[in-house]
Amino acid sequence: MIPRYTRPEMASIWEPQTRFKIWFEIEAHAADALAELGTIPKQAAKTVWEKAKNATFDVARIDEIERETKHDVIAFLTHLAEIVGPDARFVHQGMTSSDVLDTCLNVQLTRAADLLLADLDKVLAALKKRAFEHKMTPTIGRSHGIHAEPVTFGLKLAYAYAEFSRAKERLIAARKEVATCAISGAVGTFAQIDPRVEAHVAKAMGLVPEPISTQVIPRDRHAMYFSTLGVIASSVERLAVEIRHMQRTEVLEAEEFFSEGQKGSSAMPHKRNPVLSENLTGLSRMVRAYVTPALENVVLWHERDISHSSAERMMAPDATVTLDFALVRLAGLIDKLLVYPANMQKNLDRLGGLVHSQRVLLALTQKGASREDAYKLVQRNAMPVWRGEGDFLQLLKKDAEVKKHLSDAEIEEQFDLGYHLKHVDTIFKRVFGES
Amino acid sequence: MIPRYTRPEMASIWEPQTRFKIWFEIEAHAADALAELGTIPKQAAKTVWEKAKNATFDVARIDEIERETKHDVIAFLTHLAEIVGPDARFVHQGMTSSDVLDTCLNVQLTRAADLLLADLDKVLAALKKRAFEHKMTPTIGRSHGIHAEPVTFGLKLAYAYAEFSRAKERLIAARKEVATCAISGAVGTFAQIDPRVEAHVAKAMGLVPEPISTQVIPRDRHAMYFSTLGVIASSVERLAVEIRHMQRTEVLEAEEFFSEGQKGSSAMPHKRNPVLSENLTGLSRMVRAYVTPALENVVLWHERDISHSSAERMMAPDATVTLDFALVRLAGLIDKLLVYPANMQKNLDRLGGLVHSQRVLLALTQKGASREDAYKLVQRNAMPVWRGEGDFLQLLKKDAEVKKHLSDAEIEEQFDLGYHLKHVDTIFKRVFGES
Amino acid sequence: MIPRYTRPEMASIWEPQTRFKIWFEIEAHAADALAELGTIPKQAAKTVWEKAKNATFDVARIDEIERETKHDVIAFLTHLAEIVGPDARFVHQGMTSSDVLDTCLNVQLTRAADLLLADLDKVLAALKKRAFEHKMTPTIGRSHGIHAEPVTFGLKLAYAYAEFSRAKERLIAARKEVATCAISGAVGTFAQIDPRVEAHVAKAMGLVPEPISTQVIPRDRHAMYFSTLGVIASSVERLAVEIRHMQRTEVLEAEEFFSEGQKGSSAMPHKRNPVLSENLTGLSRMVRAYVTPALENVVLWHERDISHSSAERMMAPDATVTLDFALVRLAGLIDKLLVYPANMQKNLDRLGGLVHSQRVLLALTQKGASREDAYKLVQRNAMPVWRGEGDFLQLLKKDAEVKKHLSDAEIEEQFDLGYHLKHVDTIFKRVFGES
Amino acid sequence: MIPRYTRPEMASIWEPQTRFKIWFEIEAHAADALAELGTIPKQAAKTVWEKAKNATFDVARIDEIERETKHDVIAFLTHLAEIVGPDARFVHQGMTSSDVLDTCLNVQLTRAADLLLADLDKVLAALKKRAFEHKMTPTIGRSHGIHAEPVTFGLKLAYAYAEFSRAKERLIAARKEVATCAISGAVGTFAQIDPRVEAHVAKAMGLVPEPISTQVIPRDRHAMYFSTLGVIASSVERLAVEIRHMQRTEVLEAEEFFSEGQKGSSAMPHKRNPVLSENLTGLSRMVRAYVTPALENVVLWHERDISHSSAERMMAPDATVTLDFALVRLAGLIDKLLVYPANMQKNLDRLGGLVHSQRVLLALTQKGASREDAYKLVQRNAMPVWRGEGDFLQLLKKDAEVKKHLSDAEIEEQFDLGYHLKHVDTIFKRVFGES
């Protein structure tokens, strides 16, 4: 998490002020419930809200107290007492620090998920818009980096749309994983606090009670959350790499938008580099990097150890801020992507008709050639074309053995581009629900 | 995947014979659909089933053909033609190798998931049985490895039960992620094959059609699958580490079952080591290790490259076989775990009553002490006990300032073990739906 | 990298001002060499130094220019021209941005390595001091968490000393890996710049010339660097986990220093938690997390792509700052560690003599028992002791079959603690070069 | 580790028979030393060698014993006793299983390293041969996938040569890391065995004594070893990706050798896919995957736990076998790579002279234009060429402002290809020590 790759909306979730605000809300809601149960005076709970609801917490002061006590929640509570006065002693009754810390972390992670979901919607909207724009723009499909058969540029974006739709479903599930609250005391037994307090706080904070906690909310939930971010980052990288490929000098089927004043290279003024998608590639690596510590964090000792804490203080902001930045960058990149249909057509024509080889193969077998023979016939005519020696259509027409099975007209029929695109509508309907 | 950590049920999913059998089924079901559509003769489809349905494929022969053609699916089809005869030329019409390979992989992964789900049920059953058995067996709860407050051994197992219940839900979702089928041709356009063939094969193989494929089924699905296995492995490790801790010489609250004839150490005959749970720790590391390559595999070039293939050939068996072995081992370990309630009680008593310190703290604040003062009062009486110099209850009774707030009877009241266990039923109901 | 886990010395290496200072030095040294070669006027090179040597670069201004040009080095050069005046046009002649960026990164990484080496020296010094202090303090050695045979606490620290000595050697090698400089132009051919410029800058910056670069310095060097940090972090975690184990309530052989005013738990005032070593465990996970993106960064396209850049902007500071903080924390922790020899002795005595079982086994075989028989004899006397039913020495003396081989005196001889410690001096000499 | 990606030389290192052979040698050498020290009869040591030196160990029998004893070394020793007879009781005196297991693992890892070093020599030889063959074959250098300036194909291979030379140095260091032997007993104190036994066995097995062991040889050594393999794998991937890029249809500057009979695609007979380099990409991911568990394995509890063991049983063979296979495949791939200089020239010419833009920029500044102005002049002439609208040389000659600084002859001078290649010899000398 560095300013360069940070959006303020996401960063603010992780700021100390936000954290203290959430801590306060958890404590104050808990006080309400405790008052309702008669454990503490109702007036005390009311005072807490009144005195601190609109307070700005003094982060420097809290840090100062923490330096002495070496305990963050106690430092906060001490500062809260400075704001609230004597009634502050009724706050945090029967609770343990982790009740506050873990519930707060989950509030932050669900808010982060909400932002990321909005980001995904931006990516999806951009992909959909451009996909329909280029629904029937022919381009070559490639496997192994080698020309295969025609697709459309719209289909390429539809692939990505389907992938990011899955990303969204996964993120909704991941959000649900961490949308839990625990106010269960030092070892999760509710010994000192009634489970109804937890129920009240959970509801007030938009969470559900953790069925069983052990001072901490179990970290398999967070592991699932960060793993999901890692999978989404990989999808970001996939699309970024697609764009980098399309922008290669020899391919040049699309380009990142290049603003006035932008300089591609300090040394080579002509260069227009896919720097945004390369950047997304690197950012994806970072988001993925946090998956492993998140998995390692699951293995806490007994009812809890605090080894997860330092890792989470770094990776929770880092992973969410970085993915947020990446998704928004990706949405803009797709939205403004320069697309070059003429170059796509040029590339499509490059292989002298070889992209139709499979159709010829199929036609031969349908006319009675064995699959093995058909393969050999096609391959012996394809190889010279591949070496730049001749045109596939002409060579086939001159091959006597091919002619035993197919007439000239029948051969030509296999070279129809439209043939490849006849199911684009079907596919669009499957992906977008419309075509 | 080594024999030592392999169960035959899971291994058989990944054997060549199984793979060829699935390939055959995909091809034969596709032939049925093609015949139904009139693309190939109905008799041909029938012959394919008749001749090969009960065939044992000659793995050595297929390998031999592959060595020449350097292409596995062509090698298989060539061998299939040897079994089926001339009608074999109607097989694989309009299909591409990946239609077979990817659909097969997903069949294997869903079958693997089914076995893993059954394994999880075994783990859950063992945990539930032992949890209810020890529902009210008191034991010390620990945070940071330090005694905190009492819990029950049943609660410890209930934590794990809740965690593995989540594991099950996640695995069901992961299974769904990969339960897709693609028969969409060389670049996913259905140019050479009707989408209805895909629909037919999908249904016949227990899958759903992949909405949009690109020769391959997109690898974000598999990334999610293997990430989920990684999260589950971390939960295995967490429970394994709990057991290792409990079996430590100084703790000895539980032990792995130790069979007659077993030798703990070649040098030290008295040793009874938690080797199964240590072993599970290592196996979990391996299952987690496959998450990263699965994430990297997502980023294929254009409509596909084959970089994922070699990685998957290794990690798909390795991850599923290893996790399967680990889960079954874990279920047995829990089922037969030797539990020592007397030792638990001994450990519980070790701290001279310090585990009740929070209750005393709370009682003090309820009687009007400020939180800060109460904390100091408790801490100054706790510290000597911690150093082994005195009993907490007696010290408190002798502390004049404590006595300002609490009578002897009131102090004693805070030392009641039952107080900590009063919500165990509630928690069990939340976890198991019953108590 | 968050303030909480950051030391200013390391952080300052990664500050913009430091980076710009290094950029300037690279450019100015290059100008010297270019002037020496007659490519640019000598006066120009001199002016550059004079005008900018003591300049504080205006980070905000450079950021502003970069927002327009979207290119960081051009932004810097533009700002430099504002400081230097017209002679600035001779700066960066024939160079490419990466010449500056990559050489700068390597300067930063070598400086970071120097700090980390100093940190390791602190860790080693603390370990050595405490190891000699407790060279002959007996404590139980444990395998599988189970009591094995006696060692000394000094030996435990000597293990760690040897491990961190290896860490130091590895870090020296890793530093050497990245101590290279490239001033080789847009694709590394020196087309526009004489290799002697590189030689001059390398020497001036304390680096050696990269034998062959491709616009960028190859990232396998950095992968090795960050992998080495990951290995060192794992050693940090190992020692941290040892301390966490020793501080467990049931073990309590050592404790982290607990300052006045520190609060262990907001709820449980008696608790003294090993929070520093738990913290180190988490920090280690983070340092390790950066290994994977560093490995992925190696795979750049052709002569370079910029995917590594965003990842490195995050991980280079994050990994070095976090490891620096962890090592210094570890050194302090060891230096001030509270060691409890009495508790060590208590634990040593706990197993009723079972720790001597191997000696008895050996004595039996030396007296003619087969290994198999000896093992059985020892095990049948060990098992009751293990269950708390009897004393090992007494049981052996009562076992008629044992007595066939060993007299009472011979049995007693096997229970001598000194026997186990006779080679401590030898080992210390091997580890420390002295004993 | 699957047969498909396994070479027998490496696989044999990890076979049970090899392992038992090494165990035997360790035990027998230890017996020699024990006999020399007078601990056991000299005749016994002699008998051990005589009876078992040429024995083939019965793996099934050992497995059978292990199923009962659940201890692999005891099972082996029991079987050894069956071969050696009564004198077998003098074997393993004072040793612990790990003395045998860890020393054996390190023997295996050093042997694996020796094979990998030989593989690297093959890769280096192939790279050198082809590098010199194409030392002066011009080809376009690319940054960001975009044409930059000319390099030679020989330089591309020289980059790789330099990288794999570093790989070799690193592997030599990694081999040294694990070339240690420990015969130090149950907790590493040499309580039951004289350190001279260790010295003797170490020397006999080609290792050095581990300065301090703790029943086990410390796992930071192995972490460094596997991390090094991970870095090497990344270098393999980098070169593989370079080849995949060059074989792309639009680039086609090189191709993997395509044997007679090979089939590129079951559906598209014309295709020649870079399947070997794609395969290497995937294999590299797997070798990298083992880095993380190797790092996690460092953190053993106290004097040892056995969590590393299961992970190592899988990853040690998997990582070494896979990297061995990958390196040999890579060497063959480079050796037989089809190189197309004519296509390289065609690509070089594609950008209408834009690759010379930096030279023009430099010439302009040398003639007095400010860097800013020169940049603008070059960019405004480059952009139309980039869009396919005109030739860079002609446009520059027509630009009046350019002409203010440069004559036609001076402009033409900047378009000389030789200019870019003048330092190729220098670079070759730096990389290969000759040119």
SS3 per residue for chain A: CCHHHCCHHHHHHCCHHHHHHHHHHHHHHHHHHHHHCCCCCHHHHHHHHHHHCCCCCCHHHHHHHHHHHCCHHHHHHHHHHHHHCHHHHHCCCCCCHHHHHHHHHHHHHHHHHHHHHHHHHHHHHHHHHHHHHCCCCEEEEEECCEEEEEEEHHHHHHHHHHHHHHHHHHHHHHHHHHCEECCCCCCCCCCCCCHHHHHHHHHHCCCEECCCCECECCCHHHHHHHHHHHHHHHHHHHHHHHHHHHHCCCCCCEECCCCCCCCCCCCCCCCCCCHHHHHHHHHHHHHHHCHHHHHHCCCCCCCECCHHHHHHHHHHHHHHHHHHHHHHHHHHHHHHCEECHHHHHHHHHCCCCHHHHHHHHHHHHHCCCCHHHHHHHHHHHHHHHHCCCCCHHHHHHHCHHHHHHCCHHHHHHCCCCHHHHCCHHHHHHHHHCCC
Using alpha carbons, select from D52, D97, D95, D51 the residue that is nearest to residue D74.
Answer: D97
Q: Hey, is B338 helix, strand or coil?
A: strand
Q: Which residues contact B338 (CB under 8 A, 6 or more apart)?
A: B254, B255, B256, B257, B258
Tokens of D7: 């070479």
pLDDT in tens, D311-345: 999 999 999 999 999 999 999 999 999 999 999 99
Q: State whether residue C302 sits within 8 Å of chain D by CB.
A: yes
The bridge status of strand D338-339 relative to strand C146-152 is unpaired
The burial of B93, by beta-carbon neighbours within 10 Å (0-12 exposed, 13-18 middle, 19 or more buried), is given as buried
Statement to judge: residues D132 and D197 lie in one domain: yes
The nearest CA of chain D is from the CA of C395 a distance in Å of 23
Residue C408 included in any domain: yes
pLDDT in tens, A218-259: 999 999 999 999 999 999 999 999 999 999 999 999 999 976
Using alpha carbons, select from A220, A253, A14, A257 the residue that is nearest to residue A153.
Answer: A253
Percent of chain D topping pLDDT 90: 82
Tokens of A388: 């730049």
Distance in angstroms (rounded) separating the CA atoms of residues D267 and B1: 33
For residue B234, list chain A residues with Cβ-Cβ distance below 8 A.
220, 223, 295-296, 298-299
Residue B64 included in any domain: yes
- Domain of C36 in residue numbering reads as 1-93
Statement to judge: residues D250 and D323 lie in one domain: yes
Contacts 24+ apart (CB under 8 A), C372-381: C372/D78, C372/D81, C375/B263, C375/B269, C377/C401, C377/C402, C378/B269, C378/B270, C379/B263, C379/B269, C379/B270
Statement to judge: residues B160 and B297 lie in one domain: yes
pLDDT in tens, B3-46: 999 999 999 999 999 999 999 999 999 999 999 999 999 999 99
Residue B372 Cα to chain centre, angstroms: 45
Contact (CB<8Å) A285/C292: yes
Statement to judge: residues C306 and C174 lie in one domain: yes
Closest B-chain CA to D313: B2
Percent of chain B topping pLDDT 90: 82
Q: State whether residue A413 sits within 8 Å of chain B by CB.
A: no
Q: Which residues contact D294 (CB under 8 A, 6 or more apart)?
A: D219, D222, D223, D225, D226, D227, D311, D315
The DSSP H or E segment spanning D223 is helix D220-247
Q: List C-alpha distances in Å: A331 to A123, A280, A328, C153, C308.
A: 4, 11, 5, 59, 21
Distance in angstroms (rounded) separating the CA atoms of residues D267 and B215: 11
| Nearest CB partner across the interface for B310, out of D273, D283, D314 | D283
Q: How much is the mean pLDDT over chain A?
A: 94
End-to-end distance of chain B based on CA atoms, in angstroms?
40
pLDDT of residue D1: 79
Give residue A128's pLDDT band: very low, low, confident or very high (50, 70, 90).
very high
Contact (CB<8Å) C270/B382: yes
Contact (CB<8Å) C292/D296: no
Span A372-399, average pLDDT? 87
Marked catalytic residue, from A71, A79, A97, A144:
A144
pLDDT of residue A243: 98
Q: Hey, is C45 helix, strand or coil?
A: helix
The nearest CA of chain D is from the CA of B111 a distance in Å of 21
Strand partners, A208: A180
The nearest CA of chain A is from the CA of C293 a distance in Å of 5
The nearest CA of chain A is from the CA of C386 a distance in Å of 24
The bridge status of strand A146-152 relative to strand A138-143 is antiparallel
| Nearest CB partner across the interface for D70, out of B263, B314, B318 | B263
Statement to judge: residues B163 and B202 lie in one domain: yes
Statement to judge: residues A155 and A55 lie in one domain: no
Last residue of a domain, one of B38, B60, B93: B93
Statement to judge: residues A366 and A346 lie in one domain: no
Strand partners, A138: A152
pLDDT of residue B359: 85
pLDDT in tens, D354-390: 888 888 988 998 898 988 899 889 988 988 887 778 8
The nearest CA of chain D is from the CA of A31 a distance in Å of 43
Statement to judge: residues A250 and A371 lie in one domain: no
Q: Which domain CATH number covers A134? A: 1.20.200.10
Contact (CB<8Å) A282/C308: yes
Statement to judge: residues A192 and A315 lie in one domain: yes
Q: Which domain CATH number covers C8? A: 1.10.275.10
Distance in angstroms (rounded) separating the CA atoms of residues D286 and B293: 6
CA neighbours within 13 Å on the CB side: how many for C229?
Answer: 40
Distance in angstroms (rounded) separating the CA atoms of residues D297 and C196: 47
Q: State whether residue D99 sits within 8 Å of chain C by CB.
A: no
Residue C427 included in any domain: no
SS3 content of chain D, % helix, strand, coil (to 5): 65, 5, 25
Contact (CB<8Å) A267/C311: no
Marked catalytic residue, from B12, B71, B265, B435:
B265
Percent of chain A topping pLDDT 70: 97
Q: Where are the alpha helices (DSSP H) in C248-391?
A: 275-289, 291-296, 307-336, 341-349, 357-366, 371-386
Higher pLDDT, B42 or B357: B42
| Nearest CB partner across the interface for A270, out of D263, D271, D354 | D354
Question: Going residue by residue through chain C (435 aa), what tens digit of pLDDT does each one get?
Answer: 799 999 999 999 999 999 999 999 999 999 999 999 999 999 999 999 999 999 999 999 999 999 888 889 999 999 999 999 999 989 998 899 999 999 999 999 999 999 999 999 999 999 999 999 999 999 999 999 999 989 999 999 999 999 999 999 999 999 999 999 999 999 999 998 999 999 999 999 999 999 999 999 999 999 999 999 999 999 999 999 999 999 999 999 999 997 655 655 555 555 789 999 999 999 999 999 999 999 999 999 999 999 999 999 999 999 999 999 999 999 999 999 999 999 999 999 887 788 888 889 889 988 989 888 998 899 889 888 877 788 899 999 999 999 999 999 999 999 998 999 999 999 999 999 998
Give residue B264's pLDDT band: very low, low, confident or very high (50, 70, 90).
low
Residue B198 included in any domain: yes
Q: Which residues contact B435 (CB under 8 A, 6 or more apart)?
A: B135, B424, B425, B426, B428, B429
Residue B434 included in any domain: no
Give me the amino acid identity at D259. S
Statement to judge: residues B11 and B84 lie in one domain: yes
Closest B-chain CA to A69: B372
Last residue of a domain, one of C302, C332, C348: C348
The nearest CA of chain A is from the CA of B8 a distance in Å of 28
Distance in angstroms (rounded) separating the CA atoms of residues D363 and A358: 53
Distance in angstroms (rounded) separating the CA atoms of residues D209 and D29: 14
**DSSP symbol at B214:** B
pLDDT of residue B261: 59
Closest C-chain CA to B248: C145
Tokens of A99: 């009740």
Q: State whether residue B186 sits within 8 Å of chain A by CB.
A: yes
For residue C142, list chain B residues with Cβ-Cβ distance below 8 A.
248-249
Residue A422 included in any domain: no
Q: State whether residue D244 sits within 8 Å of chain A by CB.
A: yes
Q: Which residues contact A294 (CB under 8 A, 6 or more apart)?
A: A219, A222, A223, A225, A226, A227, A311, A315
Q: How much is the mean pLDDT over chain D?
A: 94
pLDDT of residue B22: 98
**DSSP symbol at B55:** P
Residue B102 included in any domain: yes
Using alpha carbons, select from B14, B16, B20 the residue that is nearest to residue B78.
Answer: B20
Statement to judge: residues C384 and C263 lie in one domain: no
- How many independent structural domains does chain B possess? 3
Q: State whether residue C382 sits within 8 Å of chain B by CB.
A: yes
pLDDT of residue B268: 57
Q: State whether residue A249 sits within 8 Å of chain D by CB.
A: yes
Closest B-chain CA to D306: B278
Last residue of a domain, one of A350, A369, A384: A350
pLDDT of residue B71: 86
Size of interface A-D (CB pairs under 8 A): 131
Statement to judge: residues D71 and D191 lie in one domain: no
Q: State whether residue C150 sits within 8 Å of chain D by CB.
A: yes
Q: List C-alpha distances in Å: C49 to C25, C28, C40, C90, C283.
A: 9, 6, 14, 12, 41
pLDDT of residue B281: 98
Q: How much is the mean pLDDT over chain B?
A: 94
Q: State whether residue C292 sits within 8 Å of chain B by CB.
A: yes
CB contact at 8 A, C340 and C252? yes
CB contact at 8 A, D234 and C296? yes
Span D70-88, average pLDDT? 94
Distance in angstroms (rounded) separating the CA atoms of residues B40 and B54: 22
pLDDT in tens, B288-343: 999 999 999 999 999 999 999 999 999 999 999 999 999 999 999 999 999 999 99
Using alpha carbons, select from B78, B107, B291, B305 the residue that is nearest to residue B214.
Answer: B305
Distance in angstroms (rounded) separating the CA atoms of residues A318 and A379: 52
Q: Which domain CATH number covers A384? A: 1.10.40.30
Active site residue B144: yes
Residue D77 has pLDDT above 60, yes or no: yes
Distance in angstroms (rounded) separating the CA atoms of residues C365 and B110: 55
Contact (CB<8Å) A265/C186: yes
pLDDT of residue D256: 95
Contact (CB<8Å) C285/A292: yes
Residue B36 included in any domain: yes
Q: State whether residue D273 sits within 8 Å of chain A by CB.
A: yes
Distance in angstroms (rounded) separating the CA atoms of residues B403 and B397: 7
For residue A378, list chain D residues with Cβ-Cβ distance below 8 A.
269-270
For residue B227, list chain A residues with Cβ-Cβ distance below 8 A.
227-228, 230-231, 291
pLDDT of residue A101: 97
Marked catalytic residue, from B143, B144, B259, B270:
B144
